[in-house]
Amino acid sequence: MKQYNPRYARHYSLKDFGMEGQQKLAQAKILVVGAGGLGCPVLQYLVASGIGQIGIVDDDIVSVSNLQRQVLYSTEDIGRDKVTVAKDKLHQLNPEIKINSFKVRIDTSNALVLFSDYDVIVDCTDNFASRYLINDACFLLKKPLIFGAIHQYEGQVAVFNVADANGNSTNYRNLFPIPPNPLEVSDCNEAGVLGVLPGIIGLFQATEVIKLLTGIGEVIVNKLMTFSILNYQSFIVEILINDSVTALIPKDEMSFQATDYHWFCGMGTYGIQEIDAAVFFEKIKIPNTAVIDVREVGELPKVDFETIQIPLSNFAENLPQIYSDTIILFCQSGKRSLKAAQILFEKWGHSKKISHLKSGIITLQEIKNE
Amino acid sequence: MVIKVIAFGSIAEITGKDFSANASDLDTLKSNLIDQFPILAERKFAIAVNQKLVNENYIFTENDTVALMPPYSGG
């Protein structure tokens, strides 16, 4: 038994938790994928609680629109790597914890290696490609996965790959065997989210981690909880095992690595280059590049560089307006520009260089504000 | 058979949050809803009856509660 550490005094005195519970936390290694709205509270509370080792995976930088809900970051952190800022702040919170930061986007080449070093994986990502990838990797490695996701005023929480009393475990595919088309869903950028929501849902995830490690209470195994912050109603449904969906998961490491999750999630970007704001500003300077705004006429904000406006609603009819062989498309959030890029790719294939601004004009604004 | 339907997230934006429906079984309910809201045919969502996920047709009894739950991606 480790010696008494006053930092955890309130855990020691807690009935059914005590020194023994604290010791279990101290021995655990937890990987948090995504250091955004959900990731921030998960990280803060797990680090505060005395988890032995924490890994953070994120490739993003702090932007001003994150600050409304991503409470690890301050105004002065805008433009810095999230993992670097998070590691610094978490170290100040609890220097007794070992924190490993990975500035990478989770993908099929790094997921299995990263995950195998940790006991529990916490999914705090913000897109379906990452969520299915993480689910499948955890299934292959038989790692407990603490799932959380949000939409406007509601969140979902579930614990996967943990066996119930009958030895049965489920995964995300039992709930949603195949991902929705990107055009039928909206993300936080587009749909909006009340800043407190990821705080609440993230803390449900952190709570499930602690319950799972220490054995207190009932972990919500094989169940999905939906929680609304508008009326505090929670709705819990039982997830049933469905062997036919398990067959959808890559059967081994090799087939996992060969799976294109972006394509699988309908984000079929084959032949289409996705660019971020920094690359966008570089590329539009190149002569003979057509920069096409596919938003509808009158949509704000206006831009201060030269563009051709061809709204997506009558895009196909107006293709003859495009003479250039290098085409950059953009819209508000990156969805319509992807759709337009797919239309162009179907028509011209590799004969023209087609790229689109991945997260839309919102990201251009953020770069300018920095 | 009168049943209660609860919709979540983006599905609720199409159908409304909760409402009563008349159907003998789940397949009939689904096709009635798609007739009424054609866009539902393109949406993916999980369905639970009395808070248990169902993957096949289900014969309703009076006062069953059906939940329509789309996946959320935000984080």
What is d(CA A3, CA A232) in angstroms, rounded to the nearest whole number?
40
Å between B38 CA and nearest CA of chain A: 13
Test A226 with B8 for CB contact under 8 angstroms.
Answer: yes
- Decide if pLDDT at B21 tops 70: yes
Residue numbers of the domain that contains B16: 2-69
Measured between beta carbons, the chain B residues lying within 8 angstroms of A224 are: 46, 53, 69
> What is the phi/psi pair of residue A289, to 5°?
-100, 130
> If we measure between CA atoms, which residue out of A68, A326, A63 comes closest to residue A308?
A326
Stretch B21-50: mean pLDDT, rounded? Answer: 95
Is A188 tagged catalytic?
yes
Q: Which of B43, B46, B75 sits opposite A149 (nearest CB)?
A: B75
Position with higher pLDDT, A316 vs B34? B34
Q: Flag if A181 and B42 touch (Cβ within 8 Å).
A: yes
User: Digits of tens for pLDDT over chain A (370 positions)?
Assistant: 468 999 999 999 999 999 999 999 999 999 999 999 999 999 999 999 999 999 999 999 999 999 999 999 999 999 999 999 999 999 999 999 999 999 999 999 999 999 999 999 999 999 999 999 999 999 999 999 999 999 999 999 999 999 999 999 999 999 999 888 766 666 556 678 999 999 999 999 999 999 999 999 999 999 999 999 999 999 999 999 888 888 889 999 999 998 888 777 765 555 678 888 888 998 898 888 999 999 998 888 888 899 999 999 889 888 888 888 899 999 998 889 988 988 887 777 777 888 999 889 988 877 665 5
The angle at the Cα of A64, spanning A58 to A68, to the nearest 5 degrees, equals 90
CB contact under 8 A, A151 and B73: yes
Q: What is the CATH number of the domain that holds B18?
A: 3.10.20.30
Contacts of residue A231, Cβ cutoff 8 Å, sequence gap at least 6 = none
Contact A174, A137 (CB under 8 A): no
Q: Which residues of chain B neighbour A150 with C-beta distances below 8 Å?
A: 72, 74-75
* Domain extent at residue A279: 273-369
For residue B25, is it within any domain? yes
Cis preceding-peptide flag for A301 (omega within 30 of 0): yes
Residues in chain B whose Cβ is within 8 Å of chain A: 6, 8-10, 42-44, 46, 48, 51-55, 67, 69-75
pLDDT of residue A271: 65
Q: What is the pLDDT of residue A322?
A: 84
pLDDT of the residue at A55: 98
> Distance from B22 to chain A by nearest Cα, in Å?
22
Measured between beta carbons, the chain B residues lying within 8 angstroms of A124 are 75
Amino acid at A308: I
Task: Check whether residue A204 and residue A280 sit in a common domain.
Answer: no
Asked if the structure places residue B35 within a domain, the reply is yes
| B40 belongs to a structural domain | yes
CATH number at residue A286: 3.40.250.10
Distance between A74 CA and the closest CA of chain B, angstroms: 19
- A124 in active site: no
Inspect the interface and report whether the beta carbons of B43 and A148 lie closer than 8 Å: no
A268, part of any domain: no
From chain A, the residues in CB contact with B50 under 8 A are none
Which token pair is A173? 């595919």
How many angstroms separate the CA atoms of B63 and A92, rounded? 54
Residues A288 and A316 grouped into a single domain: yes
Helix axes A18-26, A196-214, angle to 10 degrees: 110
Report the number of distinct structural domains present in chain B. Answer: 1
Residue B33 lies in a domain: yes
Kindly state whether residue A1 falls inside one of the protein's structural domains. Answer: no
Taking a C-beta distance cutoff of 8 angstroms, is the pair A36, A126 a contact?
Answer: yes
CB burial class (10 A; 0-12, 13-18, 19+) of residue A315? middle
Same domain flag for A18 and A159: yes
- The chain B residue lying nearest A199, using CA atoms, is B75
As a whole number of Å, the end-to-end CA separation of chain A is 49
Q: How many residues does chain A have?
A: 370
Q: How many structural domains compose chain A?
A: 2
Q: What is the mean pLDDT of residues B23-45?
A: 94
From the candidates A40, A124, A138, A188, which is the catalytic residue? Answer: A188
Query: Can you give the CATH number for the domain in which A242 is found?
Result: 3.40.50.720
ipTM for the predicted complex: 0.95
CA within 13 Å, CB half, A316: 6
Task: Name the DSSP letter for residue A284.
Answer: T
